[in-house]
C-alpha cells in the first residue's frame, strides 16, 4: 500500500526519520509537482469509475479533441 502524506516543512525531517526507522516502510520525498500529478490522476480515475457506473455524465472524445 502506498500513502501520500502532507507534512509541515518544520516537521518533515522528524517524520521522515521516524518512518525510515521502521524496516517495513520505504519512505522517500517527492516533489510537490509529482504529488499534484498523483492526486490529479487519482481524481481522473475516480471520475472514470463514476462515469462507467452511470453516476456522472461523460463527454464524447471528439469534443475533448476539439478543445485541443
Q: How far apart (Å, rounded) are the C-alpha atoms in residues 41 and 51?
A: 15
Number of H helices and E strands in the chain, helices first, is: 3, 0
Query: Residues in the chain, how many?
Result: 68
Sorted by where each begins, the domain ranges of the chain are 30-68
At 65 the pLDDT is: 85
At 47 the pLDDT is: 93
At 49 the pLDDT is: 95
At 3 the pLDDT is: 85
At 26 the pLDDT is: 93
10-residue mean pLDDT series, the chain (68 residues): 88 94 92 91 94 89 83
At 5 the pLDDT is: 87
Amino acid at each position: 500500500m502506498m500513502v501520500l502524506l502532507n507534512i509541515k516543512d518544520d516537521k518533515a525531517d522528524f517524520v521522515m526519520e521516524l518512518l525510515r526507522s521502521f524496516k517495513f516502510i520505504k519512505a522517500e520525498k517527492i516533489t510537490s509537482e509529482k504529488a499534484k500529478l498523483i492526486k490529479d490522476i487519482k481524481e481522473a480515475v475516480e471520475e472514470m469509475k463514476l462515469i462507467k457506473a452511470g453516476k456522472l455524465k461523460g463527454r464524447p472524445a471528439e469534443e475533448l479533441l476539439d478543445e485541443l
